Chains A and B, each alone.
Chain A
Amino acid sequence: MKKNPPSLTGYDMFSIQVLFFGASAGFIYPSLIVRSTTGAYWVPLVVWAAVALLSCLLYSKLLGRLQEGKLIDRLCQSAGIPAALIICLPQLIFIFGALVVMLRAYSELITMTMLPTTPITFLNGMLLAPGALALAGMMPIARAARVLYLISTLLSVCLMLIGFSDVKWTLGGPWLFTNGDFLMIRNFYSGSFIWMGFVFTALIGSYNPRISGRYRKSYIYALLLSFPMIAGFIYLPVMTFGRELTRHLTLPYISKMDSVYHYWVVFENLTALFVSVTMLYVLLVMALKLHALGESVKSLFPRANPIWIYGIVVLLVYASASALPSWRAVEGTIFYTLGLRLYALFGFPLLGLALLSVRERKRKVAS
């Protein structure tokens, strides 16, 4: 009897989604949101959360059509490899771009805060560990996610709670006012990247209608749990420095961590702790992205050796991340890849659904 490919449990998916939020929301994202509106900051968050939920439902519907199989494999079977390649290519470029941005942004963050003299090319070498984990497979990633979720979330929440000790709540206002101005600001759209964890988990593991329900639920729970954390990343600096000053900060939450001082806290520089904890999130999420990319390429090119696929992907990501000239280039890349993100959110699942529906209808007609 043929053994079904492994699938992620609800807790695995939940842990991965929370780690994804933790890896994405802490450094660039607060500045993007703070610069996007003069109204209440939670409104853009809710808007994107709603958009993400809608996209997640689409993916869930698509994955529900699978009968114990991987998404890309099924697309290849339904449409043939060339057509599947055309549908998947923007998705693959999106994942590649997300990897490059995450690696470079985190290396820049380290350079700005902790190791100013260490070359970026050396720091980018951290990609090797996620590369090895990605090659090891999906289940090792899930197991590592379960452990890192417990450790890193606990530390992040502790740091955030400490950060609440010297805030002025009045600085966070207006709490309810919004005029929708963020819709016209590109930063609002640039910030879409933090909501997309479910896109990566959809590309790994095997799915059926039951697992797709689990996939949907785990994302909703992760979103509900992470929303206060994401809001904390934005509101804490605002409630400490005020709106105007925060708008001028490149990394508002990092600056906030820098400002925390209590005689009973053993460590004086909480920024270093925050950046170190973020490393756990980032390494795991990069492994997830690499695995999603590697597995997709493997499905599209079944004859290729997995070691070569992962090796080439790691090398390309490393080279691209090292080639980005500055922090501004990182921010620019985030904005210019918006189209790819929108495709990943809506284009890909809609096309996938259409493809599978046509295929099903054809089969019915034939039978």
Chain B
Amino acid sequence: MPEILEAIHRLRAGSGSRSLFGMLRDAFGDSADYRTEAVGASGSEPVYICFLASLCSTQKLDLLLGSTGIGELSAKLSRYNGTSIGEADQPACEKAICNGSAVICTSLSENGLLVDLSETQQRGIGSPITESVLQGPMYAFNENLDANTALIRQQIRSPKLKMWETKVGELSQTRIAVFYCQGAADPDLLASLKERIGNIQADGIQDSGQLLRLLVSRKKLGLFPLAMSSERPDRSTADLLRGKMVIMVNGSPFALTVPAVYTDFWHSPEDNYVNPYVAYFLLSLRFLAMFMNLFLPALYIALTSVNVDVNRLEISLAASASREGVPYPVFVETFLMLLIIDFITEAGIRLPKTISSTVTMVGGVVLGQAIIQANIVSNLLVIIVAATAITNFIVIDYQMGLVQRILKYFIAIGATVAGLLGIMFCFACLVFYLSCLESFGAPYLTSLRRKGAIQP
């Protein structure tokens, strides 16, 4: 490959005291995976190739390494026919080595040639873990931005799908991509998003959730998630067609959709694939579950301790009978049980799957039975708490599920203070709070109906 060889011969010797080879050795000297190999000679100067072995493809490297004769350099380089090889100075060479490229230089040259030998470590395309459906596409994003871009492009084969990319993180240099459909997305939002991403000051970004925290100013950081996080390409593409924007972070399998409104968190991707009546039924079921999750423990407190006359006499008597022998006030036993069920849920999520089922069994059945027999809580409360836990799992979005888990305590406190009125007051406060929220310029509380998709 005469051009590459010519380029090597053209590399000028450094006028300063240090050569590129020396500076690279100083920069990466303490890294065990940093390698320098002599692969030939340019006149009397030996030619070296410098790289991080952990980031370079062994297969591609084998082309350069492995043989011994210095005169074979031309033959070795000919294997790289068609590869873009450019000259770069020391900072660019350092950056390129960190990205998996190799630098070819002589011992005295001040610049080097960059050869892209990078190999990205990634898992294959798998099934979604947090958003499983029974009907619909069964593949999910992974940690590779290029693979994720391909998944989106495969679903929207139109030039209207645009992708803006930048790097964020002083040290991590993480690739961030913003996808949008031209003509459907709000240009003002796009401009503001680009500005916000450009203004991020951080050493590194590991996940899209972390990016969201950095995108939303500390003042506006509230309890509710302001962007939809999804690992499903079908969901992201559907959102893109509806005029939303999708942000992806290299290294994170979760795409962020902005703006996101409250009702978005209650729609499953499956809703688009099943009969619309069934979808409406499921949606209603989810909202009902949300209300039960929020209000059931609080109603128990209100109806058994503050507003005992509201319930039917038979139910009140049954509740009182089940509490017979329980030494604590209603709110204490309720908070105790809610905390225990949250402990069990958290343990079930964190532990390996093989153990988590045992923990759930022990926590749910054994502990539940024992706690009743020990007269610590009433039978009725165990039913209430179990129902509350089940309804929490109906929440589509994991982040929203976490918020629900917190909010039920808030409403239970309201019920403890003022019974039914306390519940209503807390509910009103919640609505007021939601009505004040905005997700990237869009009011969080908007209608339940989704806007129609554009035709790409």
Contacts and interface: CB of A to CB of B under 8 A. Distances in A.
Interface of A: 110, 114-115, 118, 126, 129-130, 132-133, 136, 139-141, 143-144, 146-148, 266-269, 272-273, 275-277, 279-280, 283-284, 287
Interface stretch (B210-218, B303-311, B340-348, B394-402): B303-311
B182 to A, nearest CB: 24
**What's the interface size class on B, roughly?**
20 to 34
A133 B425 CA distance: 13
Contact of A276 (B312, B420, B445): B420
Given A146-B445, A267-B310, A110 B428 contact: no
Contacts of A280: 424, 427-428
B313 interface: yes
B428 A115 contact: no
Q: Which 10 residue pairs spanning A and B have beta carbons closest together?
A: A143-B435, A144-B435, A140-B435, A269-B310, A133-B432, A143-B445, A136-B436, A276-B424, A140-B436, A272-B310
B430 to A, nearest CB: 10
Interface in B401-424: 418-421, 423-424
Contacts of A279: 421, 424-425, 428
Contacts of A132: 432
A61 to B, nearest CB: 31
B46 interface: no
Contacts of A287: 432
Given A147-B445, A267-B310, A115 B419 contact: yes
Nearest to B306: A115
Contacts of B418: 115, 118
B312 A129 contact: no
A114 B443 contact: no
Contacts of B429: 129
A67 B296 CA distance: 50
A148 B445 contact: no
Interface in B304-331: 306-307, 309-313, 315
Contacts of B427: 280
A141 B443 CA distance: 12
Nearest to A267: B310
The binding surface of chain A is classed by DSSP as helix
Given A114-B419, A268-B309, A268-B313, A139 B443 contact: yes
Contacts of A283: 425, 428, 432
B285 interface: no
B431 interface: yes
Nearest to B316: A268
Contacts of B432: 129-130, 132-133, 136, 140, 144, 283, 287
Contacts of B309: 268-269, 272
Contacts of A266: 311-312, 315
A148 B434 CA distance: 12
A133 B420 contact: no
B93 to A, nearest CB: 49
User: Which of B315, B418, B429, B432 has most chain A Cβ within 10 Å?
Assistant: B432
B431 A144 contact: yes
Nearest to A271: B310
A290 B6 CA distance: 79
Interface string B426-456: 0111011011100000010110000000000
Contacts of B311: 266-269
Nearest to A137: B436
A205 B443 CA distance: 17
A143 B307 contact: no
A37 B310 CA distance: 34
Contact of A275 (B421, B423, B435): B421
Nearest to A275: B421
A55 to B, nearest CB: 29
A287 B420 CA distance: 21
7 contacts: A115-B421, A129-B429, A140-B432, A144-B445, A266-B315, A267-B311, A287-B432
A257 to B, nearest CB: 12
Nearest to A283: B428
A269 B307 contact: yes
A129 B436 contact: no
B314 to A, nearest CB: 9
B385 to A, nearest CB: 20
Given A136-B435, A146-B445, A272-B307, 13 more contacts: A114-B419, A114-B420, A114-B421, A115-B418, A118-B418, A133-B435, A143-B434, A143-B446, A147-B435, A148-B431, A268-B312, A276-B423, A283-B432
B259 to A, nearest CB: 14
A320 to B, nearest CB: 21
A306 to B, nearest CB: 15
A310 to B, nearest CB: 14
Contacts of B445: 143-144, 146-147
A276 B426 CA distance: 11
A129 B425 contact: yes
Given A147-B445, A268-B312, A272-B310, A141 B435 contact: yes
A128 B419 CA distance: 18
User: Which of B307, B309, B436, B445 has most chain A Cβ within 10 Å?
Assistant: B436
A6 to B, nearest CB: 11
A284 B419 CA distance: 20
Nearest to B307: A272
A307 to B, nearest CB: 15
A130 B425 CA distance: 10
Contacts of A148: 428, 431
A273 B425 CA distance: 13
Contacts of A130: 432
A133 B435 CA distance: 9
B449 to A, nearest CB: 13
A126 B424 CA distance: 11
Contact of B307 (A114, A129, A133, A146): A114
Contacts of A268: 309-313
Contacts of A276: 420-421, 423-424
Contacts of A269: 307, 309-311
B426 to A, nearest CB: 9
B431 A147 contact: yes
A219 B452 CA distance: 31
A275 B429 CA distance: 17
A110 B424 CA distance: 13
Nearest to A130: B432
Nearest to A134: B432
A266 B309 CA distance: 12
A275 B418 CA distance: 13
A337 to B, nearest CB: 26
A273 B299 CA distance: 12
A118 B427 CA distance: 20
A133 B445 CA distance: 14
Interface in B19-41: none
A268 B435 CA distance: 33
A147 B428 CA distance: 10
B425 A126 contact: yes
A196 B428 CA distance: 23
A366 B103 CA distance: 80
A143 B313 CA distance: 39
Contacts of A136: 432, 435-436
